[in-house]
A and B are shown apart, each in its own frame.
Chain A
Amino acid sequence: MKKENEKERLRRFLREMLLIRRFEEKSAELYSAMKIRGFLHLYIGEEAVAVGVMEALTPEDAVVATYREHGQALARGMSPNAIMAEMYGKQEGCSRGRGGSMHLFDAATRFYGGNAIVGGGMPLSLGLAQADKMQGKARVTCCFFGDGAVAEGEFHESMNLASLWKLPVLFICENNLYAMGTAIRYTQAVQDLASKGAGYGVQSSSVDGMDVEAVEDAARKAAEYVRQGNGPYFLECRTYRFRPHSMFDTELYRGKDEVEEWKKRDPISLLSQRLKDEGLFSDQEMASMERDVAGEIEAAVAFAEAGTWEPVQDLTRFVYSEKRAS
């Protein structure tokens, strides 16, 4: 019985990662077809991080995301339809088409936005956590950021303040080794990012970000630590982005062999291989899962295609709230 549960759980992880992967492959295709415009930052290769971390959160917890956040949003349980429509710029999108790929928001899942100022979401996470603490709610605010953000002042200010005030923040660093196209060796004097927590008295650890089970296990322990009122936790997830930084990136800064080496540790292949090796998953089941995921993405694209444009006369709506004094 226990084995069965474990199997279901791992298959769910696999499906979530597969959904992100295929959703993003489709997004890249739609970008080339000019259905999606602006910046498009793909998460491909990093799926295990979002899927593993979200598993450790409850629906009441809050998420502050980065601009590479399709995976974070999907793993959080946001609707693929609303995300795809958002990238199309349609008003059925999760931000009415005002945000696009980099600014997915969703009140229902407490998803406080893809933030496209590197490090800019970190202070927000402090306040969300502070509000929970002051209101006596045992909730966690989970704040995603990349290795690039660790160079920003806001990382250091936020780690200090979160620790000082024992705020319930789970800091998740997605270390994919590149701040846009600049390798971490050119930007960080100390490249062991998890070690930076010590200077602020923040409990920290690092985990293999290509192994969804390891991420889930580490995130669960970290979230529990935070939820129990011990203050913040800093979890560095060591991962890798298989695709270029954005659709404009010609990848002059890294070799194909490096990318290929990392692809051997593709989080989806790692998990599906493990499931197959243990006899928990057949090729037929994999094919069925692929079809199922493809159907969900097809539906999302159809939803986005059928979506409507926000009327231009609504341009200035929501600069200010529509209701003033309560």
Chain B
Amino acid sequence: MSEQDTRRATTYREAMREAIREALLNDERVFLMGEDVGHYGGCYAVSKGLLAEFGPERIRDTPLSESAFVGAGIGAALGGMRPIVEIMTINFSLLAIDQILNNAATILHMSGGQFNVPLVIRMATGAGRQLAAQHAHSLEGWYAHIPGLRVVSPATLEDARGMLATALREPDPVIIFEHNTLYNLEGTLPENAGPVDIDSARVRRTGSDLTIITYSASLFKSLEAAESLAREGIEAEVIDLRSLRPLDDATYLASIAKTHRALIVDEGWRSGSIAAEISARIMEQGFYDLDLPVMRLCSAEVPIPYARHMEEAALPQVASIIAAAKRMVAHG
């Protein structure tokens, strides 16, 4: 086994922490700020230990002032720094959406190209931990609606480890969405794991019968469903979008040209969702490759409920993905 092939066990959380630590070590302009990132160690323990290593200038606990500290991140980026701003959870980001849309995403264009905003915002997203209706939504699609932003959604350990470094090299704002059910994801990474691109989708499983287009935690549900379908002779190709803005149309269209069936699995609400956008793009660019209409599996259009069985019912699940895939294969 060559040195390159040496792998070590890690978790999504640790991969993310390593990425932040590496960024802090490599570039003195980088600092991390957000609620509870310092003394507490991060709401999801991502930044645990970093305060002791890097000190309070670079690991900054902020007051509960999302608009102020996100705006401060924008200002610091304008002022020559490379801030990483952590927002505890996606629902809280709504308290800062004015800064994200009206400033971060807008200043470059509005200033005629004079001022770019090299800011990285990280936040937890998604349901599955019984956190109820103010901590568990998937609003990534809202952010993906906004020109001027890059929106990425690392699902794998490689992406958790590698997307941040690339995002910090971008001259424009990047939002990294970390699904809160993924932090404990275990696996291995190569010793030399490093930056990965943040533009392209990846085929995570190849198959010939249908294409499942998904991202974030739904990737693993989709892969599990695909394994189960394979046992019944249905081979699903599973695409991990990775980037929600820009969308890598070419990768999923190439897959659909092969499978002729497209199922989109998205934890966001269906109406006006990223799934709707992808479906429209497939109709515009891949209509004649389809044997039957695109199908979407999204979250039920309800606030995410607390009770376990209700929360599960609200989300796309392995069983519902299998059922949808079977219906598509049977009808087309």
Interface-facing stretch out of A7-15, A121-129, A261-269: A121-129
B171 lies within 8 A of A98 (CB): no
**For the complex, what is the distance from the CA of A126 to the CA of B103, rounded to whole Å?**
14
Is A250 located at the chain interface by the 8 A CB criterion? no
**For the complex, what is the distance from the CA of A120 to the CA of B107, rounded to whole Å?**
12
Q: Which residues of A contact B172 (CB under 8 A)?
A: 320-321
What 1/0 mask marks residues of chain B from 107 to 124 whose CB sits below 8 Å from any chain A CB?
A: 111111111100000000
**Contacting B148 at CB < 8 Å: which of A158, A320, A323?**
A320
Interface size class of B (residues with CB under 8 A): 35 or more
A131 lies within 8 A of B81 (CB): yes
Q: Which residues of A contact B68 (CB under 8 A)?
A: 122-123, 126, 154, 157-158, 160-161
Is A135 located at the chain interface by the 8 A CB criterion? yes
CB distance from A277 to the nearest CB of B (A): 44
**For the complex, what is the distance from the CA of A16 to the CA of B57, rounded to whole Å?**
41
CB distance from A15 to the nearest CB of B (A): 28
Chain A residues within 8 Å of chain B by Cβ, number:
51
A94 lies within 8 A of B112 (CB): yes
CB distance from B257 to the nearest CB of A (A): 28
Which B residue sits closest to A106, measured CB to CB? B114
Which A residue sits closest to B105, measured CB to CB? A319
Is A256 located at the chain interface by the 8 A CB criterion? no
B80 lies within 8 A of A105 (CB): no
B115 lies within 8 A of A105 (CB): yes
B65 lies within 8 A of A120 (CB): no
Q: How many A-B residue pairs have CB under 8 A?
A: 156
B78 lies within 8 A of A128 (CB): yes
* Most A-side CB within 10 Å, residue of B62, B65, B116: B65
Q: Which residues of B contact A185 (CB under 8 A)?
A: none
Q: Which residues of A contact B73 (CB under 8 A)?
A: 127
**For the complex, what is the distance from the CA of A106 to the CA of B60, rounded to whole Å?**
30
B148 lies within 8 A of A319 (CB): yes
Is A80 located at the chain interface by the 8 A CB criterion? no
A124 lies within 8 A of B110 (CB): no
A124 lies within 8 A of B103 (CB): yes
B112 lies within 8 A of A93 (CB): yes
**Contacting B114 at CB < 8 Å: which of A105, A125, A322?**
A105
**Contacting B72 at CB < 8 Å: which of A126, A319, A324?**
A126
Q: Which residues of A contact B67 (CB under 8 A)?
A: 123, 153-154, 157
Measured CB to CB, the residues of B under 8 A from A are 31, 57, 60, 62-63, 65, 67-81, 83, 98-99, 102-103, 107-116, 147-148, 150, 166, 169-172
Measured CB to CB, the residues of A under 8 A from B are 62, 64, 91, 93-99, 103, 105-107, 112-113, 115, 117, 120, 122-132, 134-135, 141, 153-154, 157-158, 160-161, 164-165, 317-326
Beyond A134-B31, A157-B63, A158-B71, 18 additional pairs, beta carbon < 8 A = A62-B79, A91-B112, A95-B114, A96-B112, A103-B111, A117-B98, A123-B70, A123-B99, A127-B71, A128-B75, A128-B76, A130-B72, A154-B67, A160-B63, A161-B72, A319-B148, A321-B116, A321-B171
Closest 4 pairs between A and B when the two form their complex, measured CB to CB = A123-B71, A127-B75, A131-B79, A96-B112
